[in-house]
Structures are given as C-alpha cells and as structure tokens.
Structure 1
Amino acid sequence: MSLDSKVEVKPAPVKQRRRFDRRWAGLALLLAAAVYAPFQLVPFHVFQLTMVLVYAVALLGLNLLVGHAGQISLGHGAFFAVGAYAAAILMDGWALPYPLTLPIAAAVAFVLGYALGVPAMRLRGLYLALVTLAIAIFLGPLLKRFEGVTGGSMGLTLPKPAPPAWSGLAEDQWLYFLTLAVAVASFLLVAALLRSRVGRALHAVRDNETAAEVMGVRLSFYKTLAFAWSAMLAGAAGCVYTWVIGFVSPDSFTVNLSITLLAGLVVGGLGSLAGPVLGALFVQFVPGIAQDVNDAAPGVIFGLLIIAVMYVAPTGLAGLAGRLIRKIPRKE
C-alpha cells in the first residue's frame, strides 16, 4: 500500500466524530425545545405533549422487543395497564407518595413480563403474536372482576401530583416536566443498553437466531429479558399515565390500545431511537385527526392514513427523515 493510500483513510474517524457531534447537538437542541415548549403553549397543548412523552416511553419498550430483538407483541397495552393500575392502587389503597409508585410499577411490570416471556419464548411469529394478543384481551375483564381493588368498571379516580411551591409551575407544566424526566431517563437507559454487549446480542438474535446461537448467544435468556425490559418500560409509561390523567378504568386499556401502539411504532420506524417519538406523535394526534375528518368512521380514516404513510415511508417516518437528511449536501 502506498503512502498516499494510507493518508486517504485517515479522515474517516474525523467524519465519524463530526456525525457524532451533530447528533448530540441535535439532541441538545431538541431537549432545549422540549423544556421551552410548556411555557409557550396553552394547558391543553401542554397536556397533548405530555401524552406524547408517555406514549414515547411505552413505544420505546415495544421497540426494544420488536425492533431490536425481532419478537412480536400485540399485548403491549396490557403491560401499560399493569403499570397504570399498580400506581393507582398504591396511591389509592396504600396512600403511597406518587414518586415511589414509579419504580414499583416498573418492577411489577418487569416481573410479569419475565413470567409471561418464559413460556412465550417457546413460540415465534404468528403464534407468539396470538399469545400476546390473548393477554391484552383477557386483562380488561380480569380487572373488572376485582372491584374491591381495581374499582371494577367504574375505575379509580386519583389526585394528580401537585407542583411544589418552589417550582412556580402550573399543574400541567409540572406533570409535563415529570414526564419529560422519565422519558429522558428511559431513552438514556435504552441507548446505553443497545451500545452494550446486551444490545449486540439482541441484534444478533433479531438478524439470525441460528447464527447467534452458534456464536454463543443464549436465545431464551435474551428473548425473555427483552420481553421483561419491554414490559418494564410500558409499566413505567402506564404509571406516568396515571399521574397525568388521574383516572384509570379497564375501558382505557382495550385491545385497540395494543394494536395502536404497534401501528404507531411501525409508522415511526422500527429499530430507531427516533421511531418511538415519531410513533408517539402519530398515536396521539392521528386518531383525533381521523375523528375530525369523519365522525362516523374514524377507524377507516385512521387505517387509510397508516396505509398512506407506509406507502410513502416503508421503513417508517424515522427512515424517511434519515433519507432526506442524507440528501442534504454538506461541506467537507
């Protein structure tokens, strides 16, 4: 190899550092905008952004299972409901302070996800999807049967977390910043996880299970953990949902929620950290748009919008945004 050819390969790490710096700069700008937004918006719009963050955390967990581990789940709304009800019961029946409900709700969802993940990992594809769908179907009637604990069909009404006097924030702003803190912590946790050996093992399982097993990856172990981590994040999102809404009932966690979450993730983009955020925007706003377009058949409009997005962006909105950014000419 000549000296000239050796010199030519040296700028590559510099380009990687530039891309890394641009990414962190973009994330810092996005976080600054997120902190600034609630001071410029009316309370209803602050509430909408808060719900976007709640759904983003739930979709982050689903993305870990579907996008990074290559498993399928149609029952993610059930783990969301478990976290919501765990927080509600702890606050209503045990009078536990709301900050303590978050780790407990996440732990309960983690244990349940792990317990259900062990038998579910014997299945794959449509069979696994059917089992997870069954979980979402029977959870609602199960919650209604334990009326003394869950409130039955009437649900539970809870006080929302009040902002401390030193904050100077309104209730909607305080709830927004609580949710933002949980969302940022969740994304940092998943980003660190995906950069570790565990993340590489999950990607190996997703890409080729046979090759991963030959390389020494324990399939059942990592699949089950992915299921549990996914449930944990959904439980955390459900807990924050209880803080924000102040009410839980079985009718809030139907099968449609699980299907909508999966559709939102696919639309946002599988296997991307930006996908859950874009998917959460889709889940929060598109059903309302569909309702405004046609009150008689919002589901039809919602389905057509999903088809249209998938036609324009087969890899999701995150993939479309990535392609558009790469087309922008840059100065070397």
Structure 2
Amino acid sequence: MSRTRIAWIVLLVLAILLPFFFSSYRVTQFTLVLAYAVAALGLNLLLGYSGQISLGHGAFFALGAYVTAILVAKSGWPHLATIPVAAAICAAAGFAVGIPALRLHGLYLALVTLGLAVATPQLIKRFDGLTGGTQGLAAPSPSVPGFLDFLADDQWLYLLNLAILVPMFVLAAGLVRGRVGRALVTVRDNPIAAKTFGVDLAAYKTRAFAVSAAYAGVAGSMFTITVGFVAPESFGFALSFSFLAAVVVGGLATVAGAIFGALFIEFVPVYAADVNEALAAVIYGGVLILFMYVLPTGVVGLARRVRLRPKQEGERDAVVVDRGVAGGGAGERVRAQ
C-alpha cells in the first residue's frame, strides 16, 4: 500500500473521531469546513486543472443551498434526496455559463462570473415567493436516526456531511488522475497542442464548468443541511472570493488542498475577530497576504517540496559521484568530505 493511500486512511480515521473531542460549537465549524472543502475542490477543478478563472462560485453554492431548502421546506423531500437534484441543476447552470465563457479568457471571464455572484443575492430577494426573500427560508436539519441516538445533533450532522464529502473527493481524485485530468491540464497549459492531439477544447471547458458548478451545488446542500436556514446575506460576492482564497491557500491543481483551504477560510476570520473585531477584515487580509508570500504554492505545494527534497538531494549526490568517478576518482574525495 502506498504512503499516500495510508495517509488518506489515517486522515479519514482522524476525521471520523474528530467530533467526539470538541465542543458543539467547534464541531459545527468543522462541519462547515466540510461543505466549504467540497466547494473549493469544485473551483480547483475549474481553475487549477482547466485554467478558467471563476469569481462566481458563490452563486452556484447559493443555488444548491436554495434547491435543498426549497425542496425540504416546501415539498417535504428528505435532505439527502435533494443533493442529486441540486448537483444536476447547478451542473446545468454551470454548463450554461461555460458556453459564453468559451470566448472569454482571464480577467474578462473573471468579471463575467463576478457579475453572476453579485447578482445572485438580488435575484434571491426578488423571487421571495419561492425563496422567502430577505426573510430567508427555514429548512430544519435532519434529526439523528433512532439507531444512532447516542450521537449528539452536531456530531450527527458532521458525520453525515463527512459521508457526503468522501465520495466527492474520491470522484475528483479519480477524475484528475485519469484521461480527463490529463486532457484538462493540456488544455490549460497548451491549448494549441491539445487541439493538435484531438482534444475538444469547447467540450472539455464547458464540462469542467458543469462539474465544478455541480460540486459547488453539493456544497450548498451540505450548508443547508448543517445550518437549517438560508438567507441572501449568506451568499454575498465575498463568498466567491473566500472560495478562491481557499483554492490558493490549499494549492492549485490539488485535491487535498481543498481541505486546508476550507480550514483557513473558516477559522482565520474567527480568530481575527477574536483579536480585534473592528479590524477583523484587515487582519484576515494581512494573514492571507503573508500566507501567499511565505507559501506561494499553498500548503500541499509545501508538503510536496518537503517530501521530494531528500530524493532530489540524493539524485544530486549521485550525479556528483558519477562525475567524480568519470574524472578519475574525485568522487571518492567528494564522498569523504
């Protein structure tokens, strides 16, 4: 068994045990981290692997959250049954956004998607008959099943969200390591070469948008399941920037990085407010800038460098020795030193 697989198993075991060692408030925070991690992973599939910038993923997150809230509150659907519906609707919305995005690149695409994020709260307020408008919409969280009555409500919601997150991460890991992932990276790095090798640029870009939006929709459903209430104020355009920050902090084009990025955007603002509530945003921005200066490749990028450094040093030593041998025994002198 590979070290990576062992590390993932250990991490999963720790994640399962986590809610039994923290207070209810802290467990709720970790539950929100799970939802944000799925959203950040979806954005990373788009930004890190296909190279398309989106500042509107908060809109897809909101759409998924409201789909679950509406189906639960107005139609009496089970919470879990709403997740595939939210994913499908958000995927369709993402595909629709991805079509005009084919003609846009860089900052132009970012501005278009930013407009989507800014408009979403206003659209929610406008359709108040369906969404509850400014008053919001209550969708009570699922209660603990009878056979798990030893769990507290917060522990149950955490484990439920963890059970949703795991297959989403497994699916993403399989996607990026296969033919689709290689095609997306080629599209990102060299579109001309990708087209030469027969990669359909339009198909891959629009599908990347659709999959990314579907992930954001699932994350929105997880948010509704956790909080039990949705309102327009929860989905301002700052949410999209938070997801972007999570991607960069965790590491571009990584799967595990979404977890570290979600921890950052959930806990750093809280600790910043504890230091000085009036300057919380300033402290948060300063920490983010410092983080990017110290770890430009994100947390996972640092872990990769640390893991590969002994191997690289060993390769350099081997090269020095080989050159020394070729030079008539100098390698022995280098080794002795």
State the TM-score, normalized to the length of structure 1: 0.91
SS in 2 for 1:216: coil
Give the match for residue 129 of structure 2. 148
Bigger radius of gyration, 1 or 2?
A: 2
1:109 aligns with 2:90: yes
Measured against aligned partners, the alpha-carbon deviations of 1:103-144 in whole angstroms (never above 9, x if no partner) come to 111111111111111112211100000000000011110100
Give the match for residue 174 of structure 1. 156
Deviation at 1:195, TM superposition (A): 2.0
SS in 2 for 1:122: coil
Measured against aligned partners, the alpha-carbon deviations of 1:176-212 in whole angstroms (never above 9, x if no partner) come to 1111011101000111111221111101111111111
Give the match for residue 228 of structure 1. 210
1:298 aligns with 2:280: yes
1:324 aligns with 2:306: yes
Deviation at 1:169, TM superposition (A): 1.6
Deviation at 1:95, TM superposition (A): 1.1
Q: 4+ residue stretches of structure 1 with deviation over 3 A?
A: 325-330
Whole-angstrom distance in 2 between the partners of 1:235 and 1:192? 20
Measured against aligned partners, the alpha-carbon deviations of 1:219-262 in whole angstroms (never above 9, x if no partner) come to 11100000000000000000010000001001100000001110
Q: After the TM superposition, which residues 42-61 of structure 1 pair with which residues of structure 2 at under 5 Å, given as runs?
A: 42-61=23-42
Equivalent position to 1:197, from 179, 196, 204: 179
Aligned-residue RMSD, C-alpha: 1.5
Q: Which runs of 5+ in 1 are unaligned?
A: 1-19
Measured against aligned partners, the alpha-carbon deviations of 1:18-43 in whole angstroms (never above 9, x if no partner) come to xx611111111111111111122221
Deviation at 1:322, TM superposition (A): 2.0
Whole-angstrom distance in 1 between the partners of 2:108 and 2:301? 28
Deviation at 1:327, TM superposition (A): 4.2
Whole-angstrom distance in 1 between the partners of 2:274 and 2:309? 35
Whole-angstrom distance in 2 between the partners of 1:270 and 1:329? 23
Equivalent position to 1:259, from 216, 241, 244: 241
Whole-angstrom distance in 1 between the partners of 2:177 and 2:78? 34
Whole-angstrom distance in 2 between the partners of 1:49 and 1:83? 20
- Higher deviation after alignment, 317-326 or 167-176: 317-326
1:95 aligns with 2:80: no
The alignment covers a number of residue pairs equal to: 312
- Higher deviation after alignment, 241-250 or 318-327: 318-327
State the TM-score, normalized to the length of structure 2: 0.90
Deviation at 1:157, TM superposition (A): 1.3
Deviation at 1:294, TM superposition (A): 2.2
Give the fraction of aligned pairs with identical amino acids, expressed as a percent: 52
Measured against aligned partners, the alpha-carbon deviations of 1:295-327 in whole angstroms (never above 9, x if no partner) come to 212221111111101111111111112223334
Give the match for residue 17 of structure 1. none
Amino acid at match of 1:289: Y
Change (3 A) 1:251 1:276: same
Give the match for residue 124 of structure 1. 105
Give the match for residue 162 of structure 1. 143
1:271 aligns with 2:253: yes
Deviation at 1:328, TM superposition (A): 6.2
Give the match for residue 48 of structure 2. 67
Whole-angstrom distance in 1 between the partners of 2:307 and 2:266? 25
Whole-angstrom distance in 1 between the partners of 2:80 and 2:95? 24
1:214 aligns with 2:196: yes
SS in 2 for 1:93: helix
Q: Which runs of 5+ in 2 are unaligned?
A: 315-337
SS in 1 for 2:221: helix
Give the match for residue 10 of structure 1. none
